[in-house]
A = this chain, B = another copy of it.
Amino acid sequence: MSEKDFESLEKILETYVPEAERREVRRVLFGKELKKLDLPQSAIDAAVEQDFDLKGYVFESSPEQLRLPRTVRVGLIQNKIVLPTDAPVLEQIIALHKRVGEMVEVAAMCGVNIVCFQEAWTMPFAFCTREREPWTEFAESAEDGLTTRFCIQLAKKYNMVVVSPILERDEIHGGTLWNTAVVVSNNGNVLGKSRKNHIPRVGDFNESTYYMEGNTGHPVFQTHVNGAEIIFNPSATVGLLSEPMWPIEARNAAIANHCFTCAINRVGTEYFKNEFTSGDGKKAHNDFGHFYGSSYVAAPDGSRSPGLSRTRDGLLVAEMDLNLNRQVADKWNFKMTGRYEMYAEELKKAVQHDFKPNIVKE
């Protein structure tokens, strides 16, 4: 069993651990048991036909007297690249539009209200190569590039909010590049964009070679279905670097902030024509490692959905009642009891260049 082979943690548990024990394992690992979402047969058939993993779960909440349930269905799409990385740029983009467009159609069959794609979804995650050409040619205008126009069509056709993370070319500022999630409303308007703030400088990612730290702050997009209650985290990360961190970080954010988080990772291994080194003393090679998919949704109550496949394209549909956010907030009260004023004050001091830490010595 190699890192690239195994389908998912969930599958291994299901195969080997007896039901009574598995129930306890699932409770500890995933939180409260989620109801499976009843997906239409047409969607199930389409997923088999088109060879992708399709899963659906429901995050329920308690009935309230003064508010109706505020039910939202989100769709998380993870996918391999379609063409080899040395195919012509436009063909690669069109092929990804086609593949993901078909998966969005299945999401529509499943009643999805908001769909989010993986980070830099229109291209291979080529930053490992440190080459400029042809990768910067994948960059597009967030407002009216080819991909945004494609997403506007999808949004209108399916009455669906689309979160589309692309490599952005910012012509207004001298053609600079950003790692940007474009938010298209269900009416097909570009609602705005959020540029990645914290650019990792780790391993073969080399993202900071291509684009800078985002300057859009932390905007909240209020669509027809939600306020600031769902955080989408489109990602691209590989097994040997980060897999044990994957189940931790997005889920911690959901718990700490009383909200839903959707973590989406690309899937598959991407080969590049020119070999590159990794600054680790090892030989040059042609791939970045295995993107392990495993996209999932985490809820404010500490529960989470099982992950999508580690090896296959997938669509995860999660129905959630956003009322759960306030219900959990009213239970745990982090927003009231957390020492945010103290944290703000201490963090403000700590970022000063002449900060003196509070160290107690004997």
Give A residues with C-beta under 8 Å from B: 1, 3, 6, 9, 12-13, 15-18, 20-21, 23-25, 27-32, 183, 185, 187, 189, 191-192, 197-203, 208, 213, 217-224, 227-228, 242-249, 251-252, 255-256, 302-304, 331-333, 336-348, 350-351, 357-362
Contact = CB atoms under 8 A, between A and B. Distances in A.
A303 B1 CA distance: 21
A338 to B, nearest CB: 6
A185 B361 CA distance: 9
B31 A12 contact: no
Given A21-B6, A28-B243, A331-B203, A228 B337 contact: no
Contact of A359 (B185, B187, B228, B244): B228
B16 A18 contact: yes
B332 A191 contact: no
Contact of A344 (B219, B341, B351): B351
A244 B31 contact: yes
Contacts of A217: 342, 346, 358
Copies of this chain, whole number: 2
A198 B346 contact: no
Contact of A29 (B9, B31, B304): B9
A358 B220 CA distance: 6
Contact of A252 (B187, B224, B252, B347): B252
17 contacts: A1-B20, A3-B27, A9-B29, A12-B24, A12-B25, A13-B17, A197-B339, A198-B337, A198-B338, A200-B337, A217-B346, A218-B358, A223-B362, A244-B304, A248-B251, A249-B252, A347-B347
Interface centre among A1, A228, A256 (most CB of B within 10 A): A1
Contact of A197 (B197, B213, B342): B342
B362 A351 contact: no
A191 B360 contact: yes
Contacts of A1: 20-21, 23-24
Contacts of A342: 197, 217
A264 to B, nearest CB: 17
Contact of A332 (B20, B28, B202, B346): B202
Contacts of A336: 201
Given A1-B20, A218-B358, A247 B344 contact: no
B28 A9 contact: yes
B198 A331 contact: no
Nearest to A332: B202
B29 A222 contact: no
A202 B243 CA distance: 32
Contacts of A246: 28
